[in-house]
Amino acid sequence: MISELKRKQVVTCFLRNRGEVLLLRRSAKVGSYQGRWGAVSGYVEDTPERTARREISEETGLGAAVSLVRRGESFSVEDPELSTQWVIHPFLFDCAHRDLRLDWETTEAAWVPATDILARDTVPQLWTSYGHVAPSLDSIHGDHAHGAAYLSYRALEVLRDRAGVLAQQERDQGTHHAALRKLAADLLRARPAMAVIANRVNRAMYACRDAPSAQDVERAARNALDQAYAADEHTAQCAAGYVHGRRILTLSRSGTLTDALLRAAPSAVVVAESRPGAEGVAAAEQLAQHGYAVTLIPDSGVAQALHQGLADAVLVGADSILPSGACVNKVGTQSAALAARHYGVPVYVVSALDKLSLAEDVTLESAAPSRLYAGDEKIDVQCPLFEVTPCELITAYLTEEGELAPQRMQALADEFERMAEW
């Protein structure tokens, strides 16, 4: 009976880097589940989040390198053999690197796809803990804080994780593939303005079109995730060459562009706040934390900053690239590009080619009208999140294949159509 069990509260912290999570093998010195695999864990001593951060620092040395992604709902697990009811508080953190400093609680560490949890001898309900913080179709649909590349990784993780679960079951493989095809189709529709999600999910599904078992889909999703990270890293390397020593003006929050800025040494960075959402504020904070000279400005101050000569180049990310060479990005991008053309400042779009859309017409997302006006007057409110910047305002795209003219995009887009035929 539950009343006879000792109730103990613990945190379980999943650390994620490049789409993989950190698993730790528990040593013989710990009090329970010796030799089993788990995540960073520990007894709650103050608040769960403070405990989580302390345990991460003590067990891995990654305390300063992690950022909280999600705290999941707590749940209970009973272990009659230990006369214990565990109350588990799950967390997910993103890690900037994998440089570990393990303590006495761990004998072995491994960065693995989350689905490896299903095949290992783990502490009780580790996969359930992960499920409470794992990316989902809903979290991708509702995430307006991260860029398109980041969300494409999460989409591939969702596909991989679901395929991994189905691969463990003994049901008909045709039923499995039908379920995964539906999930893939739902992922394509989750963020229609972000072509990179569709292209990367299409790549995974196309790769296993002739071998449609759940194991094949899981393997294809893993490979597509590796390819996605490689493409974005090569793109960031390309862009870094244009950043070094320059004064850069940017807006919104592109993970690939931020990576490029952190790889190089710009003399200064001007960041527009990027409303609605103000993602530029978080981007400015991240750059400042790394010691960069950062100036945060309102969106309405972009033209004035260029007039004052505060930037040698405008660099922005992209949520999608259109076949015409136009760019879909956060609202404010077109205004910045127009001002840059007026003042003779080049505009570069930092983007992997996976962001190429298959169609010129795209659905542009909007925020809730209340984000802009919550008053009582009868006012027609429009609150766009994305807009199209014409190709003639773009100097060049900086991609994994180097610098490309906007006019090259149509021929490249044709190549992506084949992958959509799964």
pLDDT digits (tens, 9 = 90+) for 305-335: 999 999 999 999 998 999 999 999 999 999 9
Tell me: the pLDDT tens digits for 333-364? Answer: 999 999 999 999 999 999 999 999 988 888 89
**pLDDT-above-90 percentage for the chain:** 85
Mean pLDDT over all residues of the chain?
94
Strands 402-404 vs 396-399: parallel, antiparallel or unpaired: antiparallel
Tell me: the pLDDT tens digits for 379-411? Answer: 999 999 999 999 999 999 999 999 999 999 988
pLDDT(377) > 50: yes
pLDDT(143) > 60: yes
Residue tagged 């989902």 (tokens): 136
pLDDT of residue 420: 86
What burial letters (b/e) apply to 364-389, b meaning 16+ CB within 10 Å?
ebbbeeeeeeeeeeeeeeeeebbbbb
pLDDT(151) > 90: yes
User: Is 232 an annotated catalytic residue?
Assistant: no
Check: CB of residue 316 under 8 Å from CB of residue 350: yes
User: Which amino acid belongs to residue 267?
Assistant: S
Sign of the C-alpha dihedral computed for residues 330, 334, 336 and 337 taken in this order: positive
Question: Which of 22-31, 96-105, 140-149, 166-175 shows the lowest mean pLDDT across its residues?
Answer: 166-175
Q: Which residues pair with 94 in a beta bridge?
A: 16, 67
Tell me: the pLDDT tens digits for 83-142? Answer: 999 999 999 999 999 999 999 999 999 999 999 999 999 999 999 999 999 999 999 999
What's 291-337 look like in SS3? CCCEEEECHHHHHHHHHCCCCCEEEECCCEECCCCCEEEECCHHHHH
SS3 of residue 407 by DSSP: helix
Q: Which of 161, 216, 259, 319 is catalytic?
A: 319
CA-to-CA distance for 77 and 87, rounded, in angstroms? Answer: 7
pLDDT(170) > 70: no
Question: Domains in the chain, start-ordered, CATH in brackets?
Answer: 2-131 (3.90.79.10), 137-232 (1.20.120.420), 234-364+382-414 (3.40.50.10470)
The residue ranking higher by pLDDT, 251 or 169, is 251
Tell me: the pLDDT tens digits for 253-307? Answer: 998 999 999 999 899 999 999 999 999 999 999 999 999 999 999 999 999 999 9
Q: E-strand spans in 160-256?
A: 247-251
> 83: which 2 tokens?
């006369």
Query: pLDDT grade, residue 413 (50/70/90)?
Result: confident
pLDDT(202) > 80: yes
Residue 230: which of 298, 153, 159, 171 has the closest Cα? 153
pLDDT(227) > 80: yes
pLDDT of residue 171: 66
Helices and strands in the chain, H and E counts: 12, 18
pLDDT of residue 395: 98
Exposed, middle or buried, 206 (CB in 10 Å: 0-12/13-18/19+)? Answer: middle
SS3 of residue 156 by DSSP: helix
pLDDT(24) > 90: yes
